[in-house]
Structure 1
Amino acid sequence: MFELRRLRLLHELALRGTIAEVAASLSYSPSTVSQQLALLEREAGVALLEPDGRRVRLTSQGRMLAQHAARALELDESARAELTGTPGWEPVRLSAMPTAAETIVPAALTLLAERAPELRVEVAELPPEESLFELWARRFDLVIAEQYPGHTRELRDGVEHDLLGEDPIRIVLPRTEHPVPLHELRDRSWVMEPQGTAARQWAVQQCRAAGFEPDVRFEATDLTAHVRLVASGHAVGMLPDLIWGDEPSPLTTAELPGSPVREVFTAVRTGSRRSDGIRAVRAALSDALASHRTAAE
């Protein structure tokens, strides 16, 4: 019989690629990970790893067992979810994109303090790209992420997405300026998120559709930096309404062509979606976002 914790190490190695990254993710030493994988090889009776320069890689049998390990972990998680009788039985590890972490998560935690005070929720703020990978790798139980029109997030086996709501995206300009259409901003300096992010790809496409290539002079992951650069007159940008929380925007806003919205969604592993704790957290997030939208309107 295979030891489930060792199977998880093999699964993590298949996802992350190196023993060092597996060790860092699970707070083990690399020597401990190597030792446990060697024991798993002994249990399997076949070679699971082979040298690859100064590293190791999975053999064909190692890759096959890693696929079985993923299914075993999913079954274990599903069984635990069904055995859980009350909210709070297991902590819920939540990862949220920054705009959600700063607005709807605090409101949801307030709701949960009334509905399920025994439920422990652990929160981390991470970009959607990183959060969704770590959900798949079992670092988190629930993720709040977004996707822009025409930029659907990658779908992974064993992970399900559920729409929480929609978040309008608008042009932002210094407070002293009047709203103008997008095509009139062709000669302005722009602030956008870093290259490679869905938000950056989408924003650039909006400018190209309006007939110009944006002069992206400033890059920042933190949207607060976007707000400050625009407020000080150094740039213009595009921001989602959720960044303002329940407060009015301190900047001038203008509509984008077609009044686009981004979809805010939760992601959860299929095996744990029936967990009472996860369902309670998701319901609170949904109610918090709905309250935000009502207040904004």
Structure 2
Amino acid sequence: MFELRRLRLLHELALRGTLAAVAEALSFSPSTISQQLAQLEKDAGVALLAPDGRRVRLTEQGRILAAHAARALDLDEQARGELESVRAGARALAPVRVAVMQTAALAIVPVALGLLAERSPDLRVELVEMPPERGLFELAARGVDLVIAEQYPGHTRAHADGLERETLGTDPIHLAVASADPARALDDLRERPWVMEPAGTAARLWAVQQCRAAGFEPDVRYELADLSAHARLVAAGQAVAVLPDLLWAGAPAPVSLLDLPGRPTREIFTAQRVSSGTRAGILAVRRALRDAFPTPAR
């Protein structure tokens, strides 16, 4: 018989690509991962891994077993969720680990945690801040149970098998300039220094496209993941930016907000694994997040 914990290691290797990455994600040593996968090979009776330079890769048999491992992990999670759903009381609920982006941590999560404290006081919720791209990957890899992510207009995120989404609401996006700045539209900012999120993020790609559609390439002088730092640079008159309203968490913005063409909004959504659909703790957290989603105010 195959041990589920060893099957998970093979599944993780198929997703993350290296033994070192698996070891880091699961807080094991690479030698421990190697030993467990070697035992899995003995259990399978076939070679699952092959040398590939200084790394290893999955053999054809390894890829086949990794696919079965994913299904086995799904079935295990479904079974645990169904058992959890019929237990009495919140004390029986498994902890829920949530990957959140910064604006959700500011504007949605505090209210949601307050609601959960009233509704399910014994439910343990763990938060980790991650950009949506990484959060969705970790969700598929079972590093987290729930993700709060974003999708920008015209930039649809890829749908991964085994994950399902639920829209929380929409969040207006505005140009942000210093309060005394005379600019009134995007075209007025073509010669200004910009602050944007790191290259490769959906937010950065979308913001750059808005500038290009207006006929110029933005001078991205500052690249920061922290949107609060964006706002401070803008307020100090050192940069301009594209920022979502959730950043202000219902408080007055310390900068001037200008409309972008078409008055775009981004979609805020939660995602979970389909196999965790019966977990009562996750359902409680998603319900609290829905109820906590604010109406952004300028």
**TM-score of the superposed pair, with normalisation by structure 1:** 0.96
1:69-90 CA distance string (max 9 Å, x none): 0000001101111111354510
Equivalent position of 1:166 in the other structure: 170
1:184-212 CA distance string (max 9 Å, x none): 21111111111111111101111111121
Equivalent position of 2:64 in the other structure: 64
Distance across 2 between alignment mates of 1:93 and 1:87: 16
Equivalent position of 1:147 in the other structure: 151
SS at match of 1:187: coil
Write the letter of the residue equivalent to 2:210.
Q
Which of residues 112, 115, 118 in structure 2 aligns to 1:114?
Answer: 118
1:4-19 → structure 2 map (5 Å cutoff):
4-19=4-19
Distance across 2 between alignment mates of 1:178 and 1:186: 14
Matched, 1:105 2:106: no
Q: 1:179–1:253: 8 Å Cα contact kept in structure 2?
A: no
Q: 2:148–2:270: 8 Å Cα contact kept in structure 1?
A: yes
Q: 2:190–2:218: 8 Å Cα contact kept in structure 1?
A: yes
SS at match of 1:296: coil
Q: Which runs of 4+ in 1 moved over 4 A?
A: none
1:72-119 CA distance string (max 9 Å, x none): 000110111111135451000111011101221111000000011011
Equivalent position of 1:137 in the other structure: 141
Q: 2:90–2:121: 8 Å Cα contact kept in structure 1?
A: no
| Residues 179 and 187 of structure 1, relative CA distance in 2, 3 Å threshold | closer
Q: 1:108–1:284: 8 Å Cα contact kept in structure 2?
A: yes
- Give 1:61 deviation, angstroms: 0.2
Which of residues 197, 222, 226 in structure 1 aligns to 2:226?
Answer: 222
Equivalent position of 2:235 in the other structure: 231
Q: 1:173–1:237: 8 Å Cα contact kept in structure 2?
A: yes
SS at match of 2:242: strand
- Give 1:152 deviation, angstroms: 1.2
- Give 1:179 deviation, angstroms: 5.5
1:153-196 CA distance string (max 9 Å, x none): 12111111111110000000101224501112111111111111
Greater CA drift, 207-216 or 197-206: 207-216
SS at match of 2:65: helix
- Give 1:224 deviation, angstroms: 1.1
What's the C-alpha RMSD, in Å, of the aligned pairs?
A: 1.2
1:236-282 CA distance string (max 9 Å, x none): 11100000002011110110000000000001000002211101100
- Give 1:219 deviation, angstroms: 1.0
Write the letter of the residue equivalent to 2:38.
A
| Alignment: residue pair count | 294
SS at match of 1:79: helix
Distance across 2 between alignment mates of 1:226 and 1:169: 14
Write the letter of the residue equivalent to 1:22.
V
1:173-184 → structure 2 map (5 Å cutoff):
173-178=177-182, 180-184=184-188
- Stretches of structure 1 that go unaligned for 5 or more consecutive residues are none
- Stretches of structure 2 that go unaligned for 5 or more consecutive residues are none
Distance across 2 between alignment mates of 1:155 and 1:121: 26
1:1-297 → structure 2 map (5 Å cutoff):
1-84=1-84, 85=86, 86-88=89-91, 89-178=93-182, 180-289=184-293, 292-293=294-295, 296=297
